[in-house]
Amino acid sequence: MTSPSNAKPLPPAGGNGKAQEHVSRPAGPSLPLRTHPERSEGMTFSGDGHKPGEAPIDIILIWGRPGVGKTIFGLGSPYRPILVLDTERSAKLYQAHFTFDWQDCTTYSGPEGLSNALHAIRPGQYGTVIVDTATQWCEWVARAIFQRESHRAEKQSQLVWGMVKQEVRQTIQELLNKVQVIVFTAHDRTKYNSPFSEREPRVLDPIIEYATVALQLERGPNERIPRGVVTKSRILALPPHLPKATWEALLHYVTHPADWAHLKAEERVPEEVLYPDLTRRMAALIDA
């Protein structure tokens, strides 16, 4: 199949054949890494100034390199209970430290696939649903629809890509009527045709369009909590950079907006010098 100019060819089909669906909770006491231990499972928290149970952010896209802390960010959601739809079997390891429902989704279609898992969620059953990862979900949707529309995929690929995006949009809209918060995690990639190797989330456009907030996570070798670069926000209160990418930081800025006229040093994104040699030569000429 062919893809539009801003997309890359689809990778080989993922999964390991027939998946085994599994929903579980960890046995024994949980150790949720939250700053509010009084919040128990099943309770909701909306932050200061918000009605109980009302989330000010309904869709969050968390993206970055593998291992940067995308899944852990989602598991820190105060809107509970939490369900993780795991397409890469990467969240199960966190059950020793967080309380959440985990469902193994290593295919898209079929009785144990991600598609049925999304549609099976009942309204009000969960406060937060984490699709981990949306990168895999988008690839599965594209592959399934291109196979279904194979008779027109070669000559009408743009039309088929439109069907793929519409499928993603409809699923998001359906999910919004069932839960308070949707967290999409995504891998990153080099931005298409970028002369400066800029990075972007590896998902389809509808997820970026629907996202209330998109955060690119970054973490140094000696940092436990990642930083967050705000790559999209419908909340004007957020600064360009979150020194600590946590739910507490997000909800704090919702009620205590950043002062864009006087941003703190840690709230600023360092400006990259695109031509350092030219900058040094210009500085030398000015000094001369």
* Dihedral angle sign, alpha carbons of residues 262, 264, 267, 269: positive
Which pLDDT score, from 0 to 100, does residue 96 have?
A: 86
* CA gap 198, 201 in Å, rounded: 11
pLDDT digits (tens, 9 = 90+) for 20-32: 444 444 433 333 3
What letter would DSSP give residue 281?
Answer: H
> Does the residue 2 lie in any domain?
no
> Does the residue 15 lie in any domain?
no
Give the three-state DSSP class for 201.
strand
Which pLDDT score, from 0 to 100, does residue 91 have?
A: 87
> Does the residue 10 lie in any domain?
no
Average pLDDT over residues 134-160: 90
> Does the residue 3 lie in any domain?
no
* CA gap 239, 227 in Å, rounded: 12
- The number of domains in the chain is 1
Answer whether the bond into residue 185 is a cis peptide, omega within 30°: no
CATH, residue 91: 3.40.50
Under 8 Å between Cβ of 64 and 70: yes
Average pLDDT over residues 73-78: 94
Residue length of the chain = 288
pLDDT digits (tens, 9 = 90+) for 26-56: 433 333 333 333 333 434 433 343 444 578 8
> Does the residue 154 lie in any domain?
yes
> Does the residue 8 lie in any domain?
no
Q: 37-44: long-range contacts (C-beta < 8 A, 24 or more apart)?
A: 39/78, 39/80, 41/80, 41/81, 41/99, 42/80, 42/81, 43/80, 44/78, 44/79, 44/80, 44/127, 44/180
Under 8 Å between Cβ of 61 and 206: no
Which pLDDT score, from 0 to 100, does residue 55 have?
A: 84
| 230 CA to centre of own chain | 12
Domain span including residue 101:
23-287
217 phi and psi angles, rounded to 5 deg? -85, 140
pLDDT digits (tens, 9 = 90+) for 176-199: 999 999 999 999 998 877 777 788
> Does the residue 12 lie in any domain?
no
> Does the residue 16 lie in any domain?
no
